[in-house]
Amino acid sequence: MNMEKNKDIHTDLTDKSNHTPSTEIEKSKVHIIVEITEYIPNAVVSRTIIKKTTGNVTVTSFDSGEELAEKTSPFDTYVQIIDGVAEVVINEKNYLLRTGDGIVIPAHASHCFNANEQFKMISTVIKSGYED
């Protein structure tokens, strides 16, 4: 797969209830996690649940055939698949994660995501209190 494909990434920050930009989803409101973001043909779509200086929680959907290029993060990242099946590559080792599966991507580890079929994931990064 071509790792440069991430140029097609779209970020959806529109609150569908009032069509105004939003950096986070509405607080104190029940949400159906798999419905926070939709599949868009030929795209990767992200929606921020919580974004703080100390970390963030994001829901991302990948259309079949999409991928995110290899990268590293200075923080541990917890990823849970909430719909479909994802291929996650961490330090050149492939993992196949299905709905309900989760994995911790260690800080400073090279990683990427491949969508051999559509999938959605929730990712959590906690930046505070990090000890290497």
The reported pTM is 0.80
Asked if 86 and 62 count as a contact pair (C-beta separation under 8 A), the reply is yes
36 within 8 A of 25, measured Cβ to Cβ: yes
Residue ranges of domains in the chain:
3-126
- pLDDT(9) > 90: no
Place of tokens 């419905």: 35
Domain 3-126 sits in CATH at 2.60.120.10
Backbone CA torsion sign across 22, 23, 27, 29:
positive
Q: Which residue has the higher pLDDT, 46 or 15?
A: 46
Residue 13 has pLDDT above 60, yes or no: no
The β-bridge relationship of strands 9-11 and 44-52 is: parallel
In this prediction, residue 131 carries a pLDDT of 58
When pLDDT is cut at 50, 70 and 90, the band that residue 21 belongs to is very low
Predicted confidence at residue 110, as pLDDT, reads 98
Residues 46-68 as b or e (16 or more Cβ within 10 Å = b): bbbbeeeeebbbbbbbbbeebbb
Nearest Cα neighbor of 46 from 79, 73, 72, 92 is 79
- CA angle 35-31-21, nearest 5°? 75
- pLDDT, one tens digit per residue, over 92-122 is 999 999 999 999 999 999 999 999 999 999 9
**Size of the chain, expressed as the number of residues it contains:** 132
Question: Is-contact 61 119, C-beta < 8 A?
Answer: yes
